[in-house]
């Protein structure tokens, strides 16, 4: 389902190309702690409320890196996703995901993915600013259909409010009917991360990007209110959902 999300968003000219830069492979070895000693302690977290059900992660760098568990069996230092790409150009977005309930930064909730795009019909410059920003919000499954006995958490929620569950990817509109961007508040833009150079790449981080950056302060944002949802491949958003999003996200790319 994640492939479907990225495919759909790529067709909308967003960020997937940014994550395709070649990065040296990191081996699954947690013995070289010295190489990460220069990382500042950066707290990150998100809380998402969908119709009263809370989904939350919380962690800090360098104890965990919120880029997903890309190395099997290494969940102690890998974490669920809470990252931002801020370019003030094409591709600005925030990714919030729960894909591993055993990860060190998992607190509560179901498997799901939230993508917040800062490009929209009301923000064609695709930039991010302090204060209110018009954004597109997408919700997607982040687990197989074995969850809940054959239906994923997100599909089950959507079915309960009358939304067709195919293809398991949903758009969020501020008004009923045709799609309208959501107004999300950014309270802190954080600070840019800096690329660093090691003689040898550190061996105890879960993502190549994490090994190449000293991270800046987090970008912080929030939204709360009733929205309307529908299948992402359609253009009818008529089913009401209460949504809260609060995040302080790592800026992993400028």
- How far is Cα 26 from Cα 203, in angstroms, rounded to an integer? 6
Continuous H helices in 103-243: 153-160, 208-211
Q: State both tokens at 5.
A: 């999300």
Return the closest-CA partner of residue 84 out of 187, 195, 218.
Answer: 218
On the question of pLDDT at 30 being above 50, the answer is: no
| pTM score, whole prediction | 0.78
On the question of pLDDT at 12 being above 70, the answer is: no
Rounded mean pLDDT, 75-84: 71
Cis omega before residue 167 (within 30°)? yes
- How far is Cα 26 from Cα 141, in angstroms, rounded to an integer? 27
Q: State both tokens at 41.
A: 């302690």
pLDDT tens figures, 210-224: 567 778 899 999 999
Mean pLDDT lowest among 6-15, 21-30, 67-76, 175-184? 21-30
Model pLDDT, residue 78: 66
Note whether 28 and 73 are within 8 A (CB): yes
Task: Point out which residues pair with 185 in neighbouring strands.
Answer: 132, 222
Instruction: Collect all residues with Cβ–Cβ distance below 8 Å to 123 and sequence separation of at least 6.
Output: 133, 134, 135, 181
On the question of pLDDT at 244 being above 50, the answer is: yes
Rounded mean pLDDT, 83-111: 84
- What is the residue-averaged pLDDT of the chain? 75
Note whether 69 and 206 are within 8 A (CB): yes
pLDDT tens figures, 108-134: 999 899 999 987 666 666 688 999 999
Q: State both tokens at 17.
A: 């190309």
Model pLDDT, residue 89: 61
On the question of pLDDT at 204 being above 60, the answer is: no
Residue 107, classed as helix, strand or coil, is: strand
Q: How confident is the model at residue 142 (pLDDT cuts 50, 70, 90)?
A: confident
Model pLDDT, residue 80: 83
Note whether 57 and 80 are within 8 A (CB): yes
Q: How many residues does the chain have?
A: 254
64 secondary structure, DSSP code: -
- How far is Cα 191 from Cα 193, in angstroms, rounded to an integer? 7
């Amino acid at each position: 389902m994640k492939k479907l999300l990225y495919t759909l968003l790529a067709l909308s000219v967003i960020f997937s190309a940014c994550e395709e830069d070649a990065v040296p492979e990191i081996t699954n070895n947690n013995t070289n702690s010295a190489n990460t000693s220069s990382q500042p302690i950066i707290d990150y977290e998100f809380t998402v409320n969908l119709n009263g059900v809370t989904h939350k992660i919380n962690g800090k760098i360098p104890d965990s890196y919120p880029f997903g568990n890309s190395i099997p069996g290494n969940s102690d230092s890998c974490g669920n996703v809470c990252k931002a790409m801020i370019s003030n150009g094409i591709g600005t977005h925030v990714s919030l995901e729960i894909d591993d309930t055993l990860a060190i930064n998992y607190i509560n909730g179901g498997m799901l993915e939230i993508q917040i795009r800062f490009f929209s019909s009301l923000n064609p410059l695709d930039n991010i600013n302090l204060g209110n920003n018009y954004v597109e919000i997408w919700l997607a499954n982040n687990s197989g259909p074995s969850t809940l006995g054959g239906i994923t958490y997100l599909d089950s929620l959507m079915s309960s409010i009358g939304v067709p569950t195919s293809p398991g990817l949903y758009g969020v509109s501020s008004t009923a009917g045709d799609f309208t961007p959501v107004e999300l508040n950014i309270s802190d833009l954080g600070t840019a991360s800096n690329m660093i150079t090691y003689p040898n790449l550190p061996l105890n981080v879960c993502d190549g990007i994490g090994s190449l950056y000293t991270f800046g302060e987090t970008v912080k944002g929030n939204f709360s209110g009733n929205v309307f949802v529908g299948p992402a491949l359609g253009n009818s958003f008529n089913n009401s959902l209460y949504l809260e999003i609060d995040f302080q996200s790592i800026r992993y790319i400028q």
